[in-house]
Amino acid sequence: MQQRQDHWFRPAAPHSDLAWQQSADGWLRLAVTLDGTTRSGRSSALDPDTAPMREWYDAAPVPPGGSGPEFFSDRIHRLNDLATQGVAANDNPHEDTRGLEAVPVEGLRYGLPSGFPATLGVSRSRDGILLDIPLSTPRGEAVRVMGLGEKTGSLDKRGRTWVMWNCDEPVHSPEKSALYQAHPVVYLWTPGGTVTLFIDTMATVWFDVGEAEPDRLLIEIYDNRFDCYLRTDESLPEAVESYSALTGRIPLPPEWALGFQQCRYSYFPEERVLEVAQKFREERVPCDVLYLDIHYMDGYRVFTWDHRRFPEPDRMVQGLRDQGFRVVTIVDPGVKTDVDYPVFSSGLEKQAFLTRPGGELYVGKVWPGDAAFPDFSRPATREWWARWHKTLFDAGVAGIWNDMNEPADFTGDEVLRVNFTVPDDLVAHNEGEPVSFGRVHNEYANGMNRATRDAFLQYRPEERGFVLTRSGGTGVQRYAAIWTGDNHSWWEHLTMMVPMFLNVGLSGAPFVGGDAGGFQLNADAELYRRWIAAAAFTPFFRAHSALDTRDHEPWSFGPEALETARRFIGIRYRLLPYLYTLFEEASRRGTPVMRPLLWEFPQDPRVASRADSFLLGNALLVAPVREPGVQERSVYLPAGVWYDFWSGERIDVPRQPDGSGAVVVGNAPLDRIPLYLRGGTILPHEGLRQHTGETGDGVLRLLIAPDAEGRAQGTFYGDAGEGFGYCAGRFWRGSFSWDGSGLRTESRAGESGEDLRWTSLATAVCPGTSGELNPEAESLLDLPHGESRLSLPWA
Ligand code: MIG
């Protein structure tokens, strides 16, 4: 393995500078600079729209008990010692530089404002800075640690060391820590309050979350200047809202991006794509998007078409569009170093590519063979890259799928996948302040996704645009939705998707999903059915599979699996008014679409780290079946009223003295997933459509699920589903409430509902304890919905 060279940090003159600031909106910021580095104000992690408005003033830390700064150099050897023993360092390209002597400079403690007694120690380590935070409270409450973005493992990240280092990791086995995304944010949660701790850096960061010592969080940052943001909130929802105010929210997606999406590595030629499209419509499986993976390109040259496989892309794309399909194409950053290829030659001319320290072009290897990598930290490169999207937009492509943007580079050790990315010592332009690439490694995909967004603004100004990315750093949600890369058709990965997506959502990126059915290897019918049933309730819903697997389309696993896929994809479509409402909230407040039970039930002691089920919004509890051969599973229901989605049975879960609920048996034959509607909510839904381009029957249905007092409440947002009319008030947002006898509606905002596709309202109230669904009804959505006495406020 290769020794990391220290291009940006020399420990010779140990000197660090700490500056504390506080913002009017409750953040405490510790700015760290080492060795006289001058601070730069920029970071792609922060939302550029809101960051300049935040006011900061100097804040001297208040040491608890007035004891003043403390030295604690004795503590900081532990993380380094541990890492040399190989713990969680297997996939860390920097491991050989660890375990060196720590260089203590100074220590500092800060008593955080309200309730939660977190203190922060800061000291110098050989590779950067070490932060030391106790994970215990005086009252001895368990502190849960969530966040850290896309990681293996459970919802609570304790007991392990996790690294932020984006790489093309093809096997997401449990011991892996570095995958494609870097979100160095943790929430330290107790029922009484949440501390948010975010490290604003795009360099490597290690989080030892109670591995070296059970009650200690050690964070080591390999950077010579970064900011550490800290705050305390009363609840996790408030913490996530504040964090997403800092790092930005998702743009409101077009409705079609919430529909079902079918992918394959790769669908080609044109006839095959058309055949898949036709089959969806013939089999009546709703679908909005088909993907073209790398084989649509001419010899893997990005922004070109293989005209043998796709003779007239625009004609094909238009034909698909007429049938209600959008086409999304893959884009890889690696540009083939072929002088007769205009993307490369123009890039060379514009000095758009990453170079070696001496200025020589860096040539790596990806699908097209020798390839150069755009330096997306250079504004002119982003502009140049954005313009090339014209070749795809001219063909009518509706969305861009950015892959390999860690960036992956095959010149490393193919077997061990060590250094499977470009070298640290390339030069990154870094918006005019050149640095070694290693220092901004985790930012690479942000720049690429930003350029893709710019391409939409330029060529598709009327559309909201859709960008999907594999890699990203903090803030990536402002540009792209995230899919979690190359999972396997393993039950373990169906299981893992729940805590993984939950933590991505908590880390500020609510538009997340993974390859349904599994990417690598072959799914069988049972795994496929279980996976589709669960993924239908996750924010981004796409099926995909690898080059050498069997077919993974809804009809590929026999008639029963097809029926299951049709059912769950259908339910997804019928729930789109609800989902769309959740996405709109996510775009405004950063609220996760898919939530841990803890989000809604913080006082329930049995849900604090639970991820064997999840909530879609606040109303639906989804309990995926995660193993073969079973027809039922246990489901934990927090105290309150719940309705079995399939039988309609009302389940009253009494509150135990400690605030907990009860375990029920969820009936789960192969064509069902245990699914519960929460009492006290109102679920907006609609009739089945085959794709979002269909207008539907114009009836907005409200399913009312009364709580123990007979009341229910729900919110709703609607607009045209595409375009920017909503920015000019063409939307309706409001709430509905049910008091046991009548429905009330309250408009909260919005000037007009003229773009909405619903013209009338129909309601149904969930059956009481004795109530069973009538025999024709398959689920609660099929309860007869009567015409409501209330008319739609906009109609
Ligand atoms: O190294 O484009 O994660 O979804 O199908 C494989 C081919 C490159 C990796 C992506 C996967 C995609 C595949 N890509």
- Residue 400 CA to ligand 1 center (angstroms) comes to 14
Residue 203 in tokens: 């360099």
pLDDT of residue 162: 93
Contact 691, 288 (CB under 8 A): yes
pLDDT of residue 99: 35
The answer on pLDDT for 149 being more than 80 is yes
Concatenated DSSP letters of 277-299: HHHHHHTT----EEEE-GGGSBT
Least confident of 147-151, 175-179, 332-336, 643-647: 175-179
Q: How confident is the model at residue 118 (pLDDT cuts 50, 70, 90)?
A: low
Check if 169 has its Cβ closer than 6 Å to any atom of ligand 1. no
Please give the Cα distance from 794 to 389 (Å, whole number). Answer: 39
Nearest CA to ligand 1 atom 13: 265
Nearest CA to ligand 1 atom 1: 404
Contact 96, 3 (CB under 8 A): yes
pLDDT of residue 145: 97
Mean pLDDT taken over the chain: 89
Catalytic residue among 486, 553, 686, 719: 486
433 is catalytic: no
Arithmetic mean of pLDDT, 309-318: 98
Check if 409 has its Cβ closer than 6 Å to any atom of ligand 1. no
The answer on pLDDT for 111 being more than 80 is no
Most confident of 106-110, 425-429, 569-573, 750-754: 569-573
486 is catalytic: yes
Question: Which ligand 1 atom sits nearest the alpha carbon of residue 547?
Answer: 5
pLDDT of residue 671: 97
- Residue 780 CA to ligand 1 center (angstroms) comes to 39
- Residue 760 CA to ligand 1 center (angstroms) comes to 44
The answer on pLDDT for 82 being more than 80 is no
Pocket test for ligand 1, best of 486, 540, 548, 552 (most atoms within 8 A of CB): 486
pLDDT of residue 108: 47
Task: Match 């710019």 to its residue by tokens.
Answer: 454
Three state DSSP letters for 27-75: CEEEEEEECCCCCCCCCCCCCCCCHHHCCEEECCCCCHHHCCCCCCHHH
More confident residue, 134 or 301: 301
Pocket test for ligand 1, best of 404, 482, 493 (most atoms within 8 A of CB): 404
- Residue 403 CA to ligand 1 center (angstroms) comes to 7
Q: Point out which residues pair with 182 in neighbouring strands.
A: 473
More confident residue, 7 or 702: 702
The answer on pLDDT for 137 being more than 90 is no
Among 628, 630, 623, CA closest to 523: 628
For helices 379-388 and 342-349, angle between their N-to-C axes, nearest 10 degrees: 160
Q: How confident is the model at residue 106 (pLDDT cuts 50, 70, 90)?
A: very low
Arithmetic mean of pLDDT, 121-129: 72
pLDDT of residue 61: 58
406 is catalytic: yes
Buried b (16+ CB within 10 A) or exposed e, 484-516: bbbbbbbbebbbbbbbbbbbbbbbbbbbbbbbb
- φ, ψ of residue 717 to 5 degrees: the values are -130, 135
pLDDT of residue 10: 37
Question: Which ligand 1 atom sits nearest the alpha carbon of residue 546?
Answer: 5
- Residue 489 CA to ligand 1 center (angstroms) comes to 15
Q: How confident is the model at residue 547 (pLDDT cuts 50, 70, 90)?
A: very high
pLDDT of residue 771: 56
Catalytic residue among 406, 424, 454, 553: 406
Check if 330 has its Cβ closer than 6 Å to any atom of ligand 1. yes
pLDDT of residue 475: 98
pLDDT of residue 69: 39
Arithmetic mean of pLDDT, 91-117: 40
Pocket test for ligand 1, best of 403, 409, 489, 542 (most atoms within 8 A of CB): 403
Please give the Cα distance from 531 to 533 (Å, whole number). Answer: 5
Q: How confident is the model at residue 416 (pLDDT cuts 50, 70, 90)?
A: low
The answer on pLDDT for 109 being more than 70 is no
Buried b (16+ CB within 10 A) or exposed e, 259-284: bbbbbbbbbbebeebbebbebbeeee
- Residue 15 CA to ligand 1 center (angstroms) comes to 44
What pLDDT digit, counting tens, does each position of 521-536 carry?
Answer: 999 999 999 999 999 9
Contact 624, 616 (CB under 8 A): no
- Residue 546 CA to ligand 1 center (angstroms) comes to 7
Catalytic residue among 168, 220, 375, 403: 403
Question: Which ligand 1 atom sits nearest the alpha carbon of residue 486?
Answer: 3
Nearest CA to ligand 1 atom 12: 265
What pLDDT digit, counting tens, does each position of 461-517 carry?
Answer: 999 999 999 999 999 999 999 999 999 999 999 999 999 999 999 999 999 999 999
Arithmetic mean of pLDDT, 634-656: 97
Q: Is the peptide bond before 741 cis (omega within 30 degrees of 0)?
A: no
